[in-house]
Amino acid sequence: MPQKGEPDGIVALLESAVAALKEDDLASAEDLLARVLAADSDQTDALHFLGVLRHRQGNAAEAEALVRRALARAPRSTGIHLNLGNMLYETGRIPDAVASYRTALEIEPESSQTWSNLGTALHGQGNLAEARFAWEQAVQFDPDNADAWCGLSRTLIELGQINEGLIANSRAVALAPRDLMAREDVIRALVLLDRRADAERLYREWLAEDPDNPVARHQLAAVLQGDAPSRASDAYIQTVFDSYAPQFDSKLAGLGYQAPRLVADALAATRPAAAGDLEIADLGCGTGLCGPLLRRWARRLLGCDLSTGMLVRAQHRQCYDALFMVELEYFLRNEPRNFDVLVSADTLCYFGSLDSVCSAAAGALRDDGCFIFTVEALAGEEAPWTLQTSGRYAHARSHLTSALRAAGFATVEVEAAVLRQEAGLPVQGWVVRAELRRAGAPPE
């Protein structure tokens, strides 16, 4: 927050900028911070908060440079070290984030928030013993820190201390009964340890409290592995991703997420000339991680998603011409022959059968258009798709090929790739590239 001793006008501008940042009103915050820096180009708080703003816009290099300038002027600021650590973690630089959090703790060793963030980073490194210690420190200094109890619970379970982990989880749930992450991450940790009976019990307890909760209903079906729905419901998608939106990029950075790069590489192979003259739609765009990678091909780049929280963050990246809160198949069926390229990074893993989606995609593409997407891989061909215990669907190669061929795609290429890491193991997936060649379409 603004420092004492600043002129009243500067303090008022900074307080308004902080309030705008909290409301995700980046345009107003940027204007207010620019006014402060016009008066004093080295004002510490303005540099710090402008760095936070640039980070939210996806400009990692400028964000870090601004925050480090602020640190040069205030090297003992716990808040600046903490935010630098958050930025570094969210861009995948986990060892550097750990170092920033440790520096902050040298200055303020009783900061529960910093201990909690350090626990997250150490857990992301796979350093479970030190992560446990960090979480324990966090709850010691603030027994009401629900995030820390949740992190401690997940870490204890992964260390095999199931009963202690469930006790910590009950504390997290009591403190934040509507916090999806406090419940979901812990239950998934049980599933990964093949403690399905414990996971089933917790999902049923959740449904007893909230019978219509779409997340608990979908995930219980995934754990039971019987009578799986043909796709995740819109309510499930909205609830999960609105909940995860604030931490989405940081969680994926900690998992070595590759899908946006894989999609962009596939587009580069299909359309090597990046002339900026293509109409592109990013289906299930999330926080917009694909946007900066696709922009150089696009005359117009549109995105659609069911999660408002995700779309707000995609808007901050300032690389989409328009964003729509709409289910992707509905979007496609209302955009006949409007696009040259459709891309989707790890969104179709929330669909079982892809026949209808592929048909809708073909209808939205121009005569020589292409459809590029990633999904998780199903080993073997016994079934076309299956709902996994993660709540996502995996697809057989043959189903991808048959669905695309039936929709009219002339060329279909399916390549194996690692999409990310989960529980220390690679998640195997498919990168799919399909090209449409309607009769009379000119050759490239």
pLDDT tens track for 75-95: 999 999 999 999 999 888 999
Q: What crossing angle do the helices spanning 112-124 and 78-90 adopt, rounded to 10°?
A: 20
**Residue 379 pLDDT grade (very low, low, confident, very high; cuts 50, 70, 90):** confident
Distance, CA of 431 to CA of 99 (rounded, Å) = 36
**238 or 1, which is more confident:** 238
In order of 89, 103, 141, the CA distances from 123 in angstroms are 12, 18, 20
Tokens of 437: 């060649």
**Residue 247 pLDDT grade (very low, low, confident, very high; cuts 50, 70, 90):** confident
**Residue 437 pLDDT grade (very low, low, confident, very high; cuts 50, 70, 90):** confident
Tens digit of pLDDT for each residue in 112-153?
999 999 999 999 888 999 999 999 999 999 999 999 999 999
Helix (H) or strand (E) holding 363: helix 355-364
Tens digit of pLDDT for each residue in 285-334?
999 999 999 999 999 999 999 999 999 999 989 899 999 999 999 999 99
Distance, CA of 143 to CA of 95 (rounded, Å) = 27
Residues in the chain: 444
**What residue ranges do the domains of the chain occupy?**
249-436
Distance, CA of 307 to CA of 319 (rounded, Å) = 18
Tokens of 249: 């990029």
Tell which residue, 355, 354, 371, has the closest CA to residue 409.
371
Ranked by mean pLDDT, the top range of 5-9, 268-272, 359-363 is 359-363
Residue 67: count of CB within 10 angstroms of its CB: 26
Which 3 state secondary structure label does DSSP give 307?
coil
| The pTM of the whole model exceeds 0.85 | no
Helix (H) or strand (E) holding 202: helix 196-209
Distance, CA of 375 to CA of 225 (rounded, Å) = 19
pLDDT score of 435: 96
pLDDT score of 444: 45
Tens digit of pLDDT for each residue in 272-290?
876 789 999 999 999 999 9
pLDDT score of 83: 95
* pLDDT exceeds 90 at position 421: no
**398 or 247, which is more confident:** 398
Tens digit of pLDDT for each residue in 188-233?
888 888 889 999 999 999 999 999 999 999 999 999 987 789 999 9
pLDDT score of 7: 63
Tell which residue, 93, 94, 142, 91, has the closest CA to residue 116.
142
pLDDT score of 443: 47
Tens digit of pLDDT for each residue in 368-377?
999 999 999 9
pLDDT score of 253: 76
Tens digit of pLDDT for each residue in 156-197?
998 989 889 989 988 988 888 777 777 887 888 888 888 899
Fold that domain 249-436 belongs to in CATH: Rossmann fold (3.40.50)
pLDDT score of 408: 95
Tell which residue, 30, 87, 95, has the closest CA to residue 64.
87
Tokens of 86: 């958050």
Tens digit of pLDDT for each residue in 2-52?
555 556 688 999 999 999 998 888 999 999 999 999 999 999 999 999 999
Whether 351 contacts 393, CB under 8 Å: yes
